Structure 1
Amino acid sequence: MSSVKKLAGQTLWYGLPTIASRFLGYLMNMALPFIFAQPSVTADLTQVYAIIPFLSIVFTYGVETAYFRYSNEKDRTALYNTLSLSIFVTTILFSVLLYIFRGSIAGAAGLNDHPEYIIWMLGILFFDTLATLPFARLRQENRPKKYAFVRVAGIAVNILIVFTFLGILPSYAKNNPDSFIGTFYSKDVGIGYYLIGNLCGSLFTFLLLWKEWKQIRFNFDSALWKEVMNYSYPLIVVGLGGMINDMLSRLVYQHVVDLPKEQAKHELGVFANIYRIAVLITIMIQAFRMAAEPFFFNRAKDEDAPRTYARVMKFFVIACCFLFLGIGLYLDVLKWILTLKSKAWGEGMNVVLLLAMGNIFLGIYYNLSVWYKLTNKNMYGAVITIAGAVVTVLLNIVLIPKFHYWGAAIATFSCYLLMMVSSYVLGQKHYPVPYARKKIINYLIVVTILVVLHKLILLLYAPLWFSILTGTLLLGFFTWLVVQVERKELQGLPYIGKFISAR
């Protein structure tokens, strides 16, 4: 249990800044319905942010995971120098190539009206990529305070710029057109200030990590680089497949849905907003991964490592269940908030729960993936991800034209379900872990039943206050259930344990 307590503590250290930064960014994106009345205005921005993760996988080519994998076996200084030099050279090369073909990229993405978005996007990718290994080093060396400060500071700059240029300056410039401050604002940029804010935040983050870059020495170990690349290249396939599964629905939505251009942009804007609600779960997943990835590698040689991984999985699923209930039981509240400016933003909210459960499956898959990373069988991960990508592509193309939001949600849910089950079956053959399978399945079934029960109750009486009251009671019931079942283990956890009394 001590190892689980340590992971819980690390997840709080690394997770809280990640949650804070991602949640601040999440709130900034969720502010779109309050700034723009029509979802179609946000379609091009959605398109850009659907492209960035794909390119990020290529730019980083698995070096972060490889750094954790080899940092306990190789000389860390040599490893850091070699990988840093590698990623610096390739980042410049990829950026130059994409800049040369920026026009073609804009045309393929349907961004001909805003080619400047591609340039800003490349700037974001450039600085975010160069920050990858310094962040990994901070995590590996257990330096959470600087990690937290840099993460939060970068997103704070991002938010400050976005809200200044979209929330304050528009009205100020309108009332004071000849003022000096008003000259900084251009109405034509519009939602593009989201990208400018992101670019400034990424640049500021890189500057705060400058000390980590100054420590790099021109000491490139070609033999070490080849060994690391042999390990990491399947992770590129895994990453690209994962991005297909995560982002494809938003990338292709307006291109495959059988609607006029403006209506297609409207639905893309709405669906992207729907997806942001489900992403609440992935914020927690990302926070967990910040601590879990180095933790898994560091514990790999322990005799009781499989049991530790099983405990981690159980508590991870419990945390996801609480998030699922938080979304499902208070969905009416979220809808009410999002539709204050325009009712158009409330479309398709009924698919949120399917997307949320699909994202829980994705989180479970990330936990399960430890088996192929620890056993150097990354090609299995690539095969699983490719299989999921095939399902995603086929279902999106077939279902979106017919079922619109539901089609995209079904594709996401089916893909992550397939990946989760496949990884579990293969993992138990190559690296058996005694997961609490029955408990995990039962928890997922219980939270699904509670959300369905809540919906049925609201069919009889549906004022917002009653929805909140009944939702809170059902959430309280699940909390009580978890405490009864997991009392002994919960008492051993940091922070939480002191609130759990003995029987």
Structure 2
Amino acid sequence: MSIAKRLASQTAIYGVSSIVGRVLNTLLVPVYTGRFAAAQYGIVTGLYAYVSFLNVLFTYGMETTYFRFANRPGTDRQDLYNRVMTLLLISSAVLTLGLALLARPLMSLLALPPGHERYAVWIAAILGLDALAAIPFARLRLENKARKFAAIRLANILLNVGLNLFFIVLCPDVLAGKYLSGLRPLVEMVYDPTVGVGYVFLSNLAASGFTLLLLGRELLDIRLRLRLEPLRPLLKYAYPIMLMGLAGMVNETLDRILLPRWLPQGFYPGQSNLAAVGVYGACYKISILMSLVIQAFRYAAEPFFFAQSTDKNSPRTFALVLKWFTLCCAMLFVGVSVNVDLVAKVFLQRPEYLQGLRVVPVLLLANLFLGVYWNLSVWFKLTDKTYYGTYLGFAGAVLTVALNFLLIPVLGYMGSALATLACYFMMAALCWWLGERHFPVPYPVTRLLLWLAVAVGVVALSWLVPVAEGWPRYGFHALLTLGFVGLVAAVEGRRLRTI
């Protein structure tokens, strides 16, 4: 099988768990926006923003480190697996306990009233369980067991979605007498209405625990190995990746933490700052459609890039991968941005959420540049110069904080969206510029920028041209979408067939 076909095949399999699975999870957004007011959903959005930071601390770059050292000649992969898992077992136990003990201060950061401390305890348990599953999942990817990886990931998502629907939709409706009244005694035994949005976290916790059970064979294969000397090169390689990950989380999620603090009271009439976080978080979920594609690609591409690093044609392969990745993401950007009204009918069930819809194209484009940056970052991972990733991540973090500070009081959550776009564009540009000096790859930069300019123009046209509501508007948007896809196919299709 050719390199391109093998990568596409692996991406498709991982996509079952990443894209299909997370689409199911993303489809919970209509449930949340229909059942919870924006202020309640703001609690979920705010707490999961903190989870993103803490997840980096819990795994501290060990996934990429495991891949890098496992692909080095002469490495005993079983011994490496034992050492990494021993380290994670100890650190996860310490961090989970510490976070649970700090439940009250964590809740005060979100200005939540007393009584919500249990949310922080549940989140601590989720983080600990997910950290323990990270390396077994990485091992499945390393061994090309994509089907098992996908099956376990999908089982996690399905259980999480099922429990959410049970506790957030079925149980309240049964208690309200809407249907299945015969189940009322059972529901009263297992359901507590006062938990409210807490069932979002409880469902996640149950799914994380079930995932560890499914990874039982990989976990039982661990032999505890705790010797400091062999761990030092691992930690030396990992800590820049952890710092890079923390900086990345600043760029990705800090806006939802800063927004309620830096947004002037009354900026959005009739809406609290926590409600504004809920609106922004719900609209951000639509832009995550781009992140789903990036994550599925990343699962397949990370071990692929490391495996191809010794091939003399690898720079040409990397350039080809970036080109088609960017074109596919550009088509997704146009498809969702141009037809965002239709997408919103599915995701945003209450009118109060619709006012944030204008941030979706900005965030989609931002996530596209994040995917481009991730592709370009292969040079410092293959040359063991991961500290460059740290520098780039912190440069992006500084820009993110500065622009949020300047723009939130003036533009509200649109300021946060523009800050995210500026950050990821700058990181991608700097990463390409540095890569040209340390690991030259013949990326078709000018051609890709032209395609992205055309995509932005199509989206701007759809938003600026006045068309009557209803079918005329939907038809015009469909025509723009198909026109862009057809143009890409006509211009680039011949090149693809040649390759």
Match of 1:496 in 2: none
Match of 1:250 in 2: 256
Match of 1:153 in 2: 155
SS at the partner of 1:68? helix
Scaled by the length of structure 1, the TM-score of the pair is: 0.94
Deviation by residue 1:137-189 (Cα, 9 ceiling, x = unmatched): 00110111111110010111111111101111112123369723322111111
Partner Cα distance (2:200, 2:221) in 1: 32
Deviation by residue 1:22-49 (Cα, 9 ceiling, x = unmatched): 111111134322222x311211111110
Name whichever of 149-158 and 347-356 sits farther off: 347-356
Match of 2:473 in 1: 467
Partner Cα distance (2:30, 2:327) in 1: 26
Deviation by residue 1:223-254 (Cα, 9 ceiling, x = unmatched): 33211111111011100000000000111211
Question: Does structure 2 retain, via aligned residues, the 8 Å contact 1:332–1:464?
Answer: no
Which AA in structure 2 matches 1:93? V
The count of residues paired between Structure 1 and Structure 2 equals 489
Alignment of 1:213-232 (within 5 A): 213-220=219-226, 222-232=228-238
Which AA in structure 1 matches 2:61? G
Alignment of 1:343-362 (within 5 A): 343-362=351-370
Residues 418, 170 of structure 1: CA spacing in aligned structure 2 closer, same or farther, 3 A cutoff? same
Alignment of 1:460-499 (within 5 A): 461-491=467-497
SS at the partner of 1:434? coil
Query: In the alignment, is residue 54 of structure 1 matched against residue 53 of structure 2?
Result: yes
Partner Cα distance (1:153, 1:456) in 2: 43
Question: Does structure 2 retain, via aligned residues, the 8 Å contact 1:362–1:420?
Answer: yes
Which AA in structure 2 matches 1:61? Y
Match of 1:332 in 2: 341
Query: In the alignment, is residue 103 of structure 1 matched against residue 104 of structure 2?
Result: yes
Query: In the alignment, is residue 283 of structure 1 matched against residue 292 of structure 2?
Result: yes
Match of 2:319 in 1: 310
Partner Cα distance (1:402, 1:103) in 2: 32
Question: Does structure 2 retain, via aligned residues, the 8 Å contact 1:43–1:265?
Answer: yes
Residue of structure 1 aligned with 2:445, choices 437, 440, 455: 437
Which AA in structure 2 matches 1:236? M
Question: Does structure 2 retain, via aligned residues, the 8 Å contact 1:359–1:416?
Answer: yes
Residue of structure 2 aligned with 1:193, choices 183, 193, 199: 199
Query: In the alignment, is residue 63 of structure 1 matched against residue 65 of structure 2?
Result: no
Question: Does structure 1 retain, via aligned residues, the 8 Å contact 2:286–2:347?
Answer: no
Alignment of 1:31-46 (within 5 A): 31-36=31-36, 38-46=37-45
Listed as ranges, the gaps of 5+ residues in structure 2 are: none
Question: Does structure 2 retain, via aligned residues, the 8 Å contact 1:173–1:179?
Answer: no
What is the CA-CA distance between 1:219 and the residue it aligns to? Answer: 3.4
SS at the partner of 1:131? helix
What is the CA-CA distance between 1:456 and the residue it aligns to? Answer: 3.2
Match of 2:435 in 1: 427
Which AA in structure 2 matches 1:154? N
Tell me how large the CA RMSD over aligned residues is: 1.7
Query: In the alignment, is residue 363 of structure 1 matched against residue 392 of structure 2?
Result: no
What is the CA-CA distance between 1:221 and the residue it aligns to? Answer: 5.2
Query: In the alignment, is residue 385 of structure 1 matched against residue 385 of structure 2?
Result: no
Which AA in structure 1 matches 2:60? Y
Which AA in structure 2 matches 1:63? M
Query: In the alignment, is residue 79 of structure 1 matched against residue 80 of structure 2?
Result: yes
SS at the partner of 1:180? helix
Partner Cα distance (1:30, 1:435) in 2: 40
Partner Cα distance (1:178, 1:275) in 2: 36
Query: In the alignment, is residue 132 of structure 1 matched against residue 97 of structure 2?
Result: no
Partner Cα distance (2:167, 2:432) in 1: 47
Residues 244, 30 of structure 1: CA spacing in aligned structure 2 closer, same or farther, 3 A cutoff? farther
Listed as ranges, the gaps of 5+ residues in structure 1 are: 494-503
Partner Cα distance (2:283, 2:12) in 1: 28
Which AA in structure 2 matches 1:104? P
Question: Does structure 1 retain, via aligned residues, the 8 Å contact 2:97–2:124?
Answer: no
Question: Does structure 2 retain, via aligned residues, the 8 Å contact 1:79–1:224?
Answer: no
Partner Cα distance (2:410, 2:463) in 1: 26
